[in-house]
Amino acid sequence: MEITRLQIIFIIGLMAFAVRALPQLFFVGEKFPDAWDRWLRYISYGFICSIISVTLFMSGAHIETSAAPRRAIALAFAVLVAYRTKSAVTGMIAGAVLVLVLSRLF
């Protein structure tokens, strides 16, 4: 049976709701161990970075060899700008402008 995009979104939302709601019903007065808390946060960071990598550098099962260098440069620039300005938006705009310029030049 084929699952539609709407059904997938519904299932993801349902699971997100369960994860948010269950502690309210069953964990009142409990404390989540700090180590577990850190592990879950690190999993999120790992996923986000993996997704950044796959989104920018992969197309299907192949590395986008022609676009990858300019996107890597733009990503490094965005990270640097965000770090210096302490603003994710400024970093994103700087990176997006740079990748656009590089794509027009090369």
Partner 1 sequence: MKAAIPIWIAFVPSSIAWGIAAQDHGLSFGEVVLMSAWVYSGPAQFAVLGPLAEGKSALQVIVAGFLMNLRFLPMSTALAPFLRGVRRWRLLFASHVISASSFIVPYMQFQKERKELAENSTSARAEDGYGNLAFFLGVGVTSFVVWLAGTAGGFLAAFGFSAGFEEALKFILPGYFAGLLVVEMKGWAMPLICLGSLIAALPGALVSPGWGWLVTAVLVATVGWGLEEWKLPASK
Residue 59, phi-psi category: left (phi > 0), alpha (psi -120 to 50), beta (remainder): beta
State the minimum distance, in angstroms, from the CB of residue 26 to partner 1: 9
Whole-number minimum distance, CB 77 to partner 1, in Å? 9
3-class DSSP assignment, residue 3: coil
Q: Which of 54, 102, 51 lies closest to 74, judged by CA?
A: 102
For residue 100, give every residue at least 6 positions away whose Cβ sits within 8 Å of its Cβ, in sequence order, or none: none
CB of 72 to partner 1, least distance (A): 10
Query: How far does Cα 48 stand from its chain's mean position?
Result: 3
- Are 73 and 101 in contact by the 8 Å Cβ rule? The answer is no
For residue 92, the minimal CB distance to partner 1 (Å) is 4
